[in-house]
Structures are given as structure tokens and as C-alpha cells.
Structure 1
Amino acid sequence: MNILFVVSNLSYPPAEGAHDQTLNLIINLIKNGYIVKLQGFIKSDSSFDLDRLKTDIPELKLGKFENYSTNYIFLAIKNIFCRRKISHELFDIIHFEGFGVLTSVTNYRNSHSKLLMSLIDPWARRQKRRMLASKSTIHKLVFFVSWKIAYWLEMFFLKDYDAVHLVSADDLSNISLDYPRATFIDIPVFFEVKDYKKYRRTNDVLSVLFWGDLNVPYLSEGFLFIIKTVIPFVSNVELKVLGRTSKSVYLKNHDIDDVDFEKIAFITWVDDVDVFISDFDIVILPDKNGTGLKNRTISSMMLGMTIVGSDFAFDGVAGEHGKDFFICNSQNEYIETLNLLQKNSETLAIVGKSANKTAEQNYSKDIVMKEWDELYRRLLNK
């Protein structure tokens, strides 16, 4: 089976979870005998080493990549009017990834290929959430306009695809109501099964890891909420940050004078994320916004970690509060949960083991790749 991937952005080596998932899917499709070609668009601020990609995945065919410096909405609008010459190669399926290439379907409507759109991060829903969460009137207005433009583009173009892929049943149940003429399916992200290490408490200090890119505003907002209103009220706790930035750079960009940063360690790079994370008692994910499945959440579950986080961190994730993870949204909920776990190592072990089992049952590579194979074959038979 021949598949053409058309992406709206990509980094290589992958710097974002979504990019990592795209490349993992492509690599495993090639291993399973698919012939895959990749082309599309690269944001000017993304690091994309084409020569290394050719070396690392020699079986992957590569087409043309165009650089752009605008956001996804401007790229999508531009692609309505840009007519690009379609390759004469015969593709069984053309797999589009990302809102920016949503409108590129106009170039392929007359092809014999089946057309699949992956909305890993549903853009209209994302802009609406950002609008509702924003405290700035100007930002609210900007997000409102972005939401409405994204909504109408999705309304008009999603129906032209043979199927629209979402990463969670939660996204599907919400978005399918907005676009009744589109055909939606949900297939989650996947991960390699990890070597589960039974949890053992090593000392009386509760070690907590904040994991998230602090250059992303809603993740930084969650981090500030934790260090200002939660950590000071938890007994005997140690916080470290894996946030893609150094302490000095973060403090330079944020005016913070009421937090003792001497007690918070910032980690900018680790050689092996799995080994590093496994040394902590808890992973904390206080995301203040976001859509789609969070790679950080599922990866931590695969490792058998106890995770404490917001509704957004567990949006669409399989599992139950109190059994596989802990959902907290208020200051008191975070404080009570962390103090409870500080005193109860057995709960940490039980929840971590349950999280690992749930993640393996829902997000292991073999299970999810089978779903992709079945989807592609189903599309060919339509």
C-alpha cells in the first residue's frame, strides 16, 4: 500500500510530541511493508534536519517541503488559493496531518486516492478553550476571531475527506456534533511498552517532577500556580522541573519575587527521559489548557508513575481518577492529594501499577498499529 503524508509542520529530530508520533507512525508503517512518502510544510522556527532524516529512515521517500513563518490559520487560508501540481505517482491513501493543510484537499479532490485528515490537535476547539481561559480582553478577541475562522474552515473542508482522524473518543464525542457531515474515527497515540519497575519509596522526602515545556503559556501558567499556591503547603517535598528552559532564562522572562527558586531545580536536558522520570515519586501536570491526548501523561502511565494533574492533562485519557491517576483543579485538591501521597507510599505503588496496566491495554504499539492497518484497509474498500 502506498501512502503520501502531507504535514503542516514537522521537526527533526522531533522536538514536539505530535511530531514524534507522526514519525513513529511512519516508521512502523514502513516496517509493516507500507511504501510511504512524506512532504508538506515546515515552520521557520522548527529545527528540521533533512539530511539526518534521510540517513535515519532511508526507506522513507521524500517530496517537497515549503517553509512558512505564519501561524496555522494563515497557512490554511493560503492553501485554499494555492494550486500545487499533484505528483503523477499513484497513492492509495493521502494522509494529511494538522490544521494548516486542512484546505489542501482542494488539490486532491479529483485524485483516485482515499483522503484522510488527522486533527491531532483540533484547532477550532483549541482556540475556543484559549478564548475562554484568557484573562485579557484583547487576547479573548484574538482567540475569538481565530476560533470562528477555524470553525468555518473545518465546517467547509472536513466533509471532503473520506475520514477524519482524532486521537481520543472525548474529542470525537465533542467535535462530531459540530460537523455532522464529516466521518470521524478515533485512534490514540501509541507507545512502546516500558519496562515496568515496581515503585519503592527511598526516603521521607516526596520527590515531585513538573514535566512540560515552560515556553508554552498555559503550561507555564500551571507551573506558576503550583509553585506559588501548592508546593509551599506540602510537607517535606522536593520539586524538580523538566521544562525545556534554564532557571536563569525562565526568571528573566517572568517577574516573580514571591517564590524561593533556590529550592527548585531546573533540568534542561536528560539523556534518557524514561530513566530520569522513574526516579521520582510523582509526576505533576497542572496544565491550564490544551486539547488532544498528552504524550507526557501516557508516557508517565506507561512507566508506572503516579500522576497528579488537571482535567486538561487527562483530557481523553483512558483511566479513572483515584485508581490510575489523580485529577485536581483547585489549590486545596492539589495540596490534599500531595499531602495524602506523602504519607502513603502504598497508594503510590498501587496507583502506579494500575496506571501502567491501563496504558498498556490502551496505548501499546501493537494494539494501536493494528487499528491503523484496519483503518487504511477499510478506506480502500469504501
Structure 2
Amino acid sequence: MRILFLTQIIPYPPNAGPRVKTWHVLRYLYERGHDVTLASFVREEERPYLSKLDEVCTAVHTVPINRSRVADVGYWLQSHLSGRPFLIERDDLKGMRQLVQNLLAEQEFDVVHADQLTMTQFALDAKKVGGVKRPYIIFDAHNATWSIWERMRENAPWFLKPVYRIEENRIKQYEGMLVEQFDHTMVVIDPDKDLLLAGVKNGNTGTLEARISSIPIAVDAEVLQPIQRKKGSRNILTLGTLSYPPNADGIRWFLQEIFPLVQQQVPDVTLTVIGKNPPADFVQMAQQSGGAVAVTGYVDDLTPHMEAAALMVVPVRAGSGMRVRLLEAFARAMPTVTTTIGLEGIIAEADKEILLADDPQSFATATVNLLNDPDLQEMLAVNGRKLAEARYDWRAVLKQMDAVYALAAPQPEATSHA
């Protein structure tokens, strides 16, 4: 089929959750023989990777995007006038809207696939396409985004709670509208079905539920091979895109409330924080830690950092969907501690493939126990690798997309016989 695929970021290299998910989806569509035209926002640092997309796309079109805090204030005010979410206003750029409209006018597409919330607004233009058959439109929801804002509101300072609630409610209603307007919606975990349906105004969720499919995020277990960790290491590793508020919130929680408890029991423990755009307070905490904490920023290769670590922590207090960091930790055979929210949507068993803890004291205890127990580290590493291979490799997981795309396939005309 001919697919117009809309994405908010260049999905390469697969070094962050959204990129990992989208890159494997594009690879799968290509291997299934589909003809994919990509329309994406692009940042200057992403341009060197555009040629890589030619391997899986027939054509690649881009629109430059630059973010600034000053501009965000304007988009926030604009959202009050329009009633639309701030996230939608921020990405509603004239260049992208014109590009999508031109592509829809110039070519016939069977499917318009909107990857993530903010690209849905452009896919809706496909409903205005004239002719015999308009494209089938798919909303690929990486998360139920309104629930992320709800969880962030719960952990936010009191003076920010009303701000978070406003955006939370707007996104909830907007996502409910999308479920109604799109032909099909894909989520990565079953609970997100109900979260998206919670925003539907008329309450007619029975028929809409049948138009939502749950397809997990996948990783490449062939590429992500097990790590050979340094014996006797006292280093803890954590990572994530630190400009993403839920990631920064969780790691800040670990730095401020959990790591000091670990240090009390393991004085020689160290912590390495990896991720693009670390907040200023992370850098300051590292400078004041006497060498116990290192904040690296973005790194091209995680392997040496994983090899130097005893374990990984994925501290999550707010979020939705699946944590790709965990899937990759399983694939790399990295023993890991996370929270119940962090493990959402991943079929893994506590104390078999992973350790779970939800408050500072229990998280610190689990981390210390894992640091001090090489046999437990090895058990989690081996079982996690087996889980990644069996359940979360992209070649197996994404076969479930075939049923969704079959709904968009042109149906043969009925033939009458005299």
C-alpha cells in the first residue's frame, strides 16, 4: 500500500524511546512491501541521518523546527484562545500543514499514519481529500499523553498543579476526539485503551473500543547483544532523554531521595547519569557529589558505560506507554530496578527478570541488595535477555500490525452472476 507516514522527529538513530519504536515500524512496513512517503519535522542535528531513511522510505520530506522557551509562552497563551492543547499549538507549523496538504493533493495514498499525538492534526486533513476514496487514517499513540500530565501534576509543586491540570484536561478531550475521528488507533499497552476512551465526550465507547489495537513497542534483539559487565563494579547506571519531563522527574527523584540512602549502606557506590540536555540541577548535584555522581550528557555509544556498571535503575513516577529503556536493558542483559509505573505494559515478573520498588526506602534497599549480590545480578540478566528475545523482538511483535493495515486494504468489488 501507499503510506504517508507523519512523524514529529527523525526516527534515526534509534537512541531514544520514540525513535526506537518508529524506526522499527518503518523497517517493518518496508519489509512488508509497502511504499512509504515520510513527512517529518527535522532539527539541525538530525540532518546527517536523513540519508539513512532512504533505506526504508520511497521519499522523505522535512520541515525545520526550532524550539524556544519564549515561543512556548506564546503557544501556551494561544492554547487558551483556541482551547486546543499547548502541545498541539506548539507543533501546528504552517510549513508542515502545507507540506501534508500538498502531498495529499498530488498523490493518492491508501493510508496516512500519524506517529504520536502532535502529528494527528495534519492527518485529519486527509478527511478533506476529494475523489473516490480518501486515505485510511491511523493514530499511532505512543502514550495516553493526558495521563502523563496527570501523573506529573501529582508530583508537581502546588503552584504548578493548576497549570498541569489545564493541559491534562485539554489533551484528554483532544485524544478522545482523535479516537472518534481516526479510522483506527494503535496503543502500546492495554490500559491506554481505556485512558484514551476516557476523553470521548458522548460516552459511545463500545464501538470505538473495537477500533483500538494494542501493539507493544519492539527492540532489535539481534543488534542489542548481552553486555559483559565488570565484575565487582559498584557503579549504578541510569539514562534517558532528560529534556523529557517524566524522565528528568524520575532521575531527579533518584538523585535526591534514593541515592543518598544507597550511599549510607554502600559508601563507595557511584552513579552515572546519561542523557541529552541534562537539567542544570543535575550538573550541580554532580559537582557537589565529590565524584560520586557523573552526568555525561549524550553519548554515542552506551556499551562501555553499561560494561562498567553493576546494574541499571529506571526510576519512573510519571509516564504512559512502555519504557524502551527497560526493553533494551533486558536485551543487553542488564540487571535493573524500576517502579510499578516503569514496568507498565511489559510482561515481566518481579524478582525473576527485574526488581520492583515504589518508594525511596524500598527502591534503595532493592538497589543495595542487587549491588551486593552477583548471583542475583546474573539471574536477572539471563532471564531478562530470554524475555527480550521471546516477546519483544521487532520481527515477531510487529506482525500484529498486519491486521490493522488489512483494514485499510482496498476491497475487491463484488461481482454479480446472472
TM range (shorter): 0.7 to 0.9
TM-score by length of 2: 0.78
What is the root-mean-square deviation in Å for CA atoms of aligned residues? 3.1
Q: How does 1:267-286 map to 2 (within 5 A)?
A: 267-274=296-303, 276-286=305-315
Structure 1 window deviating more from structure 2 (30-39 vs 212-221): it is: 212-221
2:215 to 163, 187, 195: 187
Q: Any conservation in 2 of the 1:287–1:310 contact (CA below 8 Å)?
A: yes
Q: Which residue of 1 aligns with 2:269?
A: 237
The separation in 1 between residues aligned to 2:214 and 2:38, in whole angstroms, is 22
Q: Any conservation in 2 of the 1:97–1:117 contact (CA below 8 Å)?
A: yes
Partner AA of 2:46 in structure 1: F
Aligned residue for 2:6, secondary structure, equals strand
Shift of 1:245: 5.1
Shift of 1:198: 8.0
Shift of 1:282: 0.8
Shift of 1:319: 0.6
Shift of 1:178: 4.5
The separation in 2 between residues aligned to 1:102 and 1:17, in whole angstroms, is 19
Deviations 1:125-175 (A, max 9, x none): 2222222221232x2222111122212222223212221011122323443
Aligned residue for 2:118, secondary structure, equals helix
Q: How does 1:127-276 map to 2 (within 5 A)?
A: 127-137=149-159, 139-179=160-200, 180=205, 182=208, 183-194=211-222, 197=226, 202-203=231-232, 205-231=233-259, 232-235=263-266, 236-244=268-276, 250-251=280-281, 256=285, 260-274=289-303, 276=305
In structure 2, the CA distance between the partners of 1:158 and 1:9, relative to structure 1 (3 Å rule), is farther
Does 2:148 match 1:120?
A: no
Shift of 1:38: 0.7
Shift of 1:254: 6.5
Aligned residue for 2:294, secondary structure, equals strand
Aligned residue for 2:46, secondary structure, equals coil
In structure 2, the CA distance between the partners of 1:255 and 1:189, relative to structure 1 (3 Å rule), is same
Q: Any conservation in 1 of the 2:269–2:292 contact (CA below 8 Å)?
A: no
Q: Which residue of 2 aligns with 1:95?
A: 113
Give the count of matched residue pairs. Answer: 372
Identity %: 16
Aligned residue for 2:351, secondary structure, equals coil
The separation in 2 between residues aligned to 1:164 and 1:233, in whole angstroms, is 48
Shift of 1:46: 6.6
In structure 2, the CA distance between the partners of 1:15 and 1:171, relative to structure 1 (3 Å rule), is same
Q: Which residue of 2 aligns with 1:53?
A: 50
The separation in 2 between residues aligned to 1:261 and 1:250, in whole angstroms, is 17
Does 2:24 match 1:24?
A: yes
Shift of 1:100: 1.4
In structure 2, the CA distance between the partners of 1:60 and 1:324, relative to structure 1 (3 Å rule), is same
In structure 2, the CA distance between the partners of 1:284 and 1:53, relative to structure 1 (3 Å rule), is same
The separation in 1 between residues aligned to 2:294 and 2:320, in whole angstroms, is 28
TM-score by length of 1: 0.84
Deviations 1:109-133 (A, max 9, x none): 2543221111112222222222222
Q: Which residue of 1 aligns with 2:391?
A: 362
Q: Any conservation in 1 of the 2:227–2:306 contact (CA below 8 Å)?
A: no
Partner AA of 2:110 in structure 1: D
Shift of 1:93: 1.6
Partner AA of 1:3 in structure 2: I
Shift of 1:325: 0.8
In structure 2, the CA distance between the partners of 1:255 and 1:106, relative to structure 1 (3 Å rule), is same
Deviations 1:251-271 (A, max 9, x none): 5x7765995242222333544
In structure 2, the CA distance between the partners of 1:35 and 1:242, relative to structure 1 (3 Å rule), is same
